[in-house]
Amino acid sequence: MAMETTGPTIIDVYGAPGSGKTTVSRMVSKKLADEGYKVDEHIFQVNNEYHPVNRIFIKGLTAVGYTLKNFAFIKEIFSLAQLHTFSSRKTAVKQ
Amino acid sequence: MSSLARRRNQDIIVAEKGLTQAVISLALNCTPKDFSAMINKMEKHLSAEIVYVHVRIGTAENLTRLKNRNEGNSEVELEADGKKKEELLDNINEICEEIKIIKNCLTFDNTMEADSMEKFQQLIEKHLASQLKFEL
Question: What is the block-wise mean pLDDT of chain B (136 residues), using blocks of 10 residues?
Answer: 49 76 75 79 74 87 79 52 78 87 83 70 66 44
- Answer yes or no: is B69 within a domain: yes
- Interface test with chain B among A4, A9, A12, A21, by most B beta carbons within 10 Å: A12
Q: Is A62 on the interface with B (CB under 8 A)?
A: no
- Answer yes or no: is B56 within a domain: yes
Q: pLDDT value at position A41?
A: 58
Whether residue A54 is predicted with pLDDT greater than 60 in this model: the reply is no
Beta-carbon contacts below 8 Å between A and B? 207
Q: pLDDT value at position B34?
A: 78
Q: pLDDT value at position B1?
A: 43
b/e per residue, A25-54, with b = 16+ CB within 10 A?
Answer: bebbbeebeeeebeebebebeeeebeeeeb
Distance from A68 to chain B by nearest Cα, in Å?
Answer: 7
The number of CA neighbours under 13 Å toward the Cβ of B133 is 9
Contact A74 B18 (CB under 8 A): yes
Whether residue A85 is predicted with pLDDT greater than 50 in this model: the reply is no
Neighbours of B98 (CB within 10 A): 15
Query: Based on the structure, what is the number of domains in chain B?
Result: 1
Confidence of residue A68 (pLDDT cuts 50, 70, 90): very low
pTM of the predicted model, to two decimals? 0.67
- Answer yes or no: is B135 within a domain: no
- Residue of chain A whose Cα is closest to the Cα of B89: A16
Interface of B with A in 14-73 (CB under 8 A): 14-22, 24, 46-57, 62-63, 65-66, 69
Whole-number Cα distances in Å, A86 to A81, B69, B99, B120: 9, 33, 31, 38
pLDDT, averaged across chain A: 55
Identity at A41, one-letter amino acid code: E
Measured between beta carbons, the chain B residues lying within 8 angstroms of A6 are: 1, 47-48
Distance from B4 to chain A by nearest Cα, in Å?
Answer: 7
Report the share of chain A in percent with pLDDT over 70.
29
Identify the CA nearest to A14 among candidates B67, B134, B26, B72: B26
| Residues contacting residue B63 through CB under 8 Å, at least 6 positions apart | A18, B85, B86, B89
Identity at A56, one-letter amino acid code: I
Identify the CA nearest to B23 among candidates B108, B92, B101: B92
Whether residue A42 is predicted with pLDDT greater than 70 in this model: the reply is no
Confidence of residue A43 (pLDDT cuts 50, 70, 90): very low
Q: pLDDT value at position B14?
A: 80
Residue B64: domain span: 3-130
**How far does CA B121 lie from the centroid of its chain?**
17
Interface of A with B in 8-47 (CB under 8 A): 8-25, 27-29, 31-32, 35, 37, 40
- Interface test with chain B among A13, A27, A79, by most B beta carbons within 10 Å: A13
Whether residue A5 is predicted with pLDDT greater than 60 in this model: the reply is no
Query: How would you class A89 by CB atoms within 10 Å of its CB: exposed for 0-12, middle for 13-18, buried for 19 or more?
Result: exposed
* SS3 state of residue B50: strand
Q: pLDDT value at position B106?
A: 82
Q: pLDDT value at position B23?
A: 76
Quick check: ipTM above 0.90? no
